[in-house]
Amino acid sequence: MAASLAVLSLSACNKKDAEPATEMTSAPAADAMNETGTTSAESPAQVFANIAAASDMFEIETSKLAAEKAQSAKVKTFAEQMIKAHTESTKKLTAAAAAATPPITLAPRMTAAQDAQLADLRSKTGAAFDEAYAKAQVSAHQATLDALKGYAAGGDQASLKTFATELVPTVTAHLNMAKAL
């Protein structure tokens, strides 16, 4: 149940409330997709790992864009912190996935919704960019926090549960920082 909550929370990452669920681009095309954008053949641990990897990739890519385009020095500083933090998170996730039994191979691809939000950010400039980036960061970090808590409480792989548990304080801090932008 908690793993399902984690999947739903992360798959909702960066979606507008009115948008329907979208597919994860990392899932094999031959398998039937479910409402969370994953295949029914993937284990809860694989789903969690893939979504966490997509979340990190989204944070890194949007923050690289913000480091270039942001008008506010505060936004640029936050973006640089996110690039560093999410690059480190990806390293920890990769290690936790490798320690799973059986080992999990990450498929770090953003969801269609994340791709669309990144494209939308690319089209913005100035204060409009800063506002959209800050909003995206709040949404992404809240969804990630919910998913981490869910997997930490009920995940099926000890190494990934530890990863999720240890990352909760960091993501909480990022969420609070994003809200202050």
| pLDDT tens digits for range 56-108 | 999 999 999 999 999 999 999 999 999 999 999 999 999 999 999 999 999 87
For residue 81, tell me if it sits in a domain: yes
For residue 2, tell me if it sits in a domain: no
Q: How confident is the model at residue 41 (pLDDT cuts 50, 70, 90)?
A: confident
In tens, the pLDDT along 4-14 reads: 334 333 433 33
By the 8 A CB rule, do 128 and 116 touch? Answer: no
Amino acid occupying residue 54: A
Q: How confident is the model at residue 42 (pLDDT cuts 50, 70, 90)?
A: confident
Rounded CA gap, 53 and 9, in Å? Answer: 14
Nearest-CA neighbor of 143 among 23, 16, 40? Answer: 16
Amino acid occupying residue 82: M
Nearest-CA neighbor of 86 among 105, 112, 113, 66? Answer: 66
What are the residues whose beta carbons fall under 8 Å from the beta carbon of 146, sequence distance 6 or more?
5, 6, 9, 10
pTM (predicted TM-score): 0.78
CATH code for the domain of 79: 1.20.1260.10
Domain that holds residue 154: 44-179
- Considering its fold, how many domains does the chain have in total? 1
For residue 30, tell me if it sits in a domain: no
By the 8 A CB rule, do 70 and 59 touch? Answer: no
For residue 34, tell me if it sits in a domain: no
For residue 7, tell me if it sits in a domain: no
In the block, tokens 């966490």 appear at 52
For residue 126, tell me if it sits in a domain: yes
pLDDT at site 40: 53
For residue 91, tell me if it sits in a domain: yes
For residue 26, tell me if it sits in a domain: no
Letter string b/e over residues 13-48, b meaning 16 or more CB atoms within 10 A of that residue's CB? bbbeeeeebbbbbbbeeeeebbebbbbeebebbbbb
